[in-house]
């Protein structure tokens, strides 16, 4: 069974199609004026897509080291050489790195052309492809340059998940675990289609209320403050979902240090992340807390000192101005 979830952005509402064989509905999402497509993907991607309109394929490299401004420049120059116009469409096919890069190139070329995301990873389906946040990394931090650019539609074909390595599936679980704590939903009691759809529904509702991350949308970054620092500090040897898993447990420990949640709530985080999803919950060895703190100071949410999304008596919320002593104390609780 397939599901259609509407992301109700004012003036730019679009559908996300979820389910096995969902790629068959791609044509229904392509804007009517589009005569040609610029397909942004990666070489040797095991999930293939047949398009019935003329298209040119552009390959981007594998890995976060290719998520750069140079890649955006290469794509836009390729679009220009191929004569693409605002009446054409970019179709980004791949995981979160591809949809981030493809979306940013679409937002930049001719100051904005339509884009459709075909997410082929669990992480991409429940997070990166939804909500219009695009961007690339700088040496100073993750996703520091980008644009808000909503897609014309998103395809989440669950058949693509059968092509993933176990590590890529685990990365998706790291992001999926986040939604347990934003809502309290029993996601593990749902079918895969319904579970993915429910994560998308949660994100769609939050994005619709705060498209530009002026307030509530920042809740979707639960666990991400430390996660982004871990990715940068390890030069992305620890993948995004793996880093989010550690970041979720760290955020719970930090909230406990600050008196916002009790030990039982911390244990709930460890059970969901570590036992139910089977993810690592402690810091990788060899990382200096002082270096991670410096990276977290550059996080894009950091408007007033060290800023975290933390659980508390009123649920998950943004907490600015966190004392460094509390941050260090929480690090001791997740050290191996």
Report yes or no: 238 and 285 within 8 Å, Cβ to Cβ.
no
Instruction: Tell me what pLDDT residue 302 has.
Output: 66
Separation between Cα atoms, residue 178 and residue 180, nearest integer Å: 5
Catalytic residue among 117, 195, 236, 240: 240
284: domain CATH number is 1.20.1090.10
User: Is there a single domain that holds both residue 137 and residue 261?
Assistant: no
Q: Is residue 99 part of a domain?
A: yes
68 and 160 part of one domain: yes
- Domain residues for the domain of 239 are 213-333
- Beta strand 115-119 pairing with 89-94: parallel
Annotated active-site residue 216? The verdict is no
Report d(CA 253, CA 248) in Å as an integer.
9
For the cut 80, the answer to whether the pLDDT of residue 236 exceeds it is: yes
Q: Are the CB atoms for 322 and 306 separated by under 8 Å?
A: yes
Whether 142 is catalytic: no
Catalytic, 240? Answer yes
Q: Using 50, 70 and 90 to split pLDDT, how confident is the model at 215? A: confident
Assess contact for 190 and 56: CB atoms under 8 A. Answer: no
- As to burial, measured by CB atoms within 10 angstroms (0-12 exposed, 13-18 middle, 19+ buried), residue 240 is buried
Tell which of 148, 164, 180 closes a domain.
164
Q: Does some domain include residue 208?
A: no
Domain total of the chain: 2
Active site residue 133: yes
Residue-wise pLDDT for 14-49, tens only, equals 999 999 999 999 999 999 889 899 999 999 998 989
What does the alpha-carbon distance between residue 222 and residue 283 come to, in Å, rounded to a whole number? 17
Residue 14's φ and ψ, nearest 5 degrees, are: -145, 165
Domain holding 10: CATH number?
3.40.50.1970
- Confidence class of residue 54 from pLDDT cuts 50, 70 and 90? very high
Mean predicted lDDT score pLDDT of the chain: 94
Residues 119 and 224 reside in one and the same domain: no
Residues 243, 141 within the same domain: no
- 228 catalytic? Reply is yes
82, 129 Cβ separation under 8 angstroms: no
- Has residue 137 been placed in a domain? yes
The verdict on residue 178 lying in a domain is: no
Cα-Cα-Cα-Cα dihedral of 109, 17, 163, 131, to 10°?
50
Distance CA 63, CA 241 (A): 14
Q: Is residue 175 part of a domain?
A: no
Among 12, 42, 298, smallest CA distance to 132 is for: 12
Please check whether residue 53 lies inside any domain of the structure. Answer: yes
User: What is the structure's pLDDT at 300?
Assistant: 67
| List 178, 217, 269, 300, catalytic entry | 217
Report if residue 256 sits inside a domain.
yes
Among 67, 198, 203, 300, the active-site one is 203
The answer to whether 224 is a known catalytic residue is yes
Q: Is residue 183 very low, low, confident or very high in pLDDT (cuts 50, 70, 90)?
A: confident
End-to-end CA distance of the chain: 43
Query: What is the torsional sign of CA 246, 321, 235, 283?
Result: negative
Of the candidates 201, 213, 231, 242, the residue annotated as catalytic is 213
- Final residue belonging to a domain, choices 164, 184, 199: 164
- Among 175, 155, 189, which Cα is nearest to 50's? 155
- Give yes or no: residues 13 and 144 share one domain: yes
> Are 151 and 9 members of one domain?
yes
Q: Decide if 219 is inside a domain.
A: yes
Q: What sections of the chain are H helices per DSSP?
A: 69-81, 96-108, 122-123, 166-183, 192-209, 224-233, 240-257, 263-270, 289-297, 324-333
Confidence of residue 237 (pLDDT cuts 50, 70, 90): very high
Q: Tell me which of 299 and 223 has the higher pLDDT.
A: 223
Active-site position among 142, 198, 224, 300: 224
28 and 137 share one domain: yes
Query: 32 with 155, same domain?
Result: yes
Q: Is 203 a catalytic residue?
A: yes
Choosing from 133, 236, 269, 301, which is the catalytic residue? 133
> Model pTM?
0.90
Q: At CA 216, angle to CA 158 and CA 332, rounded to 5?
A: 85
Q: Is residue 8 domain-shared with residue 157, that is, in the same domain?
A: yes
């Amino acid at each position: 069974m397939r599901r259609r979830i509407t992301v109700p952005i004012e003036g730019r509402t679009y559908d996300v199609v979820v389910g096995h064989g969902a790629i068959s509905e791609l044509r229904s999402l392509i804007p009517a004026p589009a005569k040609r497509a610029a397909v942004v993907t990666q070489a040797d991607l095991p999930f293939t897509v047949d398009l019935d309109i003329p298209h040119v394929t552009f390959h981007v490299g594998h890995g976060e080291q290719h998520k750069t401004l140079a890649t955006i420049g290469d794509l836009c120059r390729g679009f220009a050489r191929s004569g693409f116009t605002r009446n054409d469409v970019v179709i980004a096919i791949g995981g979160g790195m591809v949809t981030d890069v493809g979306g940013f190139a679409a937002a930049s070329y001719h100051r904005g052309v339509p884009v459709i995301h075909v997410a082929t990873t669990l992480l991409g389906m429940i997070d990166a492809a939804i909500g219009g946040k695009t961007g690339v990394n700088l040496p100073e931090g993750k996703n520091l340059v980008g644009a808000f650019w909503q897609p014309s539609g998103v395809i989440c074909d669950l058949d693509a998940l059968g092509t993933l390595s176990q590590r890529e599936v685990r990365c998706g679980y790291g992001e999926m675990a986040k939604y347990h704590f934003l809502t309290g939903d029993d996601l593990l009691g749902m079918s895969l289609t319904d579970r993915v759809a429910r994560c998308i529904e949660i994100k769609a509702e939050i994005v619709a209320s705060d498209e530009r991350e002026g307030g509530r949308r920042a809740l979707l970054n639960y666990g991400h403050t430390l996660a982004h620092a871990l990715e940068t500090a390890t030069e992305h040897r620890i993948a995004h979902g793996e880093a989010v898993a550690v970041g979720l447990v760290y955020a719970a420990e930090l909230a406990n240090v600050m008196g916002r949640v009790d030990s039982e709530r911390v244990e709930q985080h460890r059970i969901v992340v570590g036992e139910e999803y089977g993810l690592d919950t402690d810091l990788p060895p060899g990382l200096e807390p002082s270096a991670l703190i410096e990276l977290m100071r550059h996080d894009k949410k950091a408007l007033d000192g060290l800023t975290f999304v933390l659980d508390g008596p009123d649920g998950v919320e943004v907490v600015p101005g966190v004392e460094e002593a509390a941050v260090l104390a929480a690090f001791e609780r997740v050290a191996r």
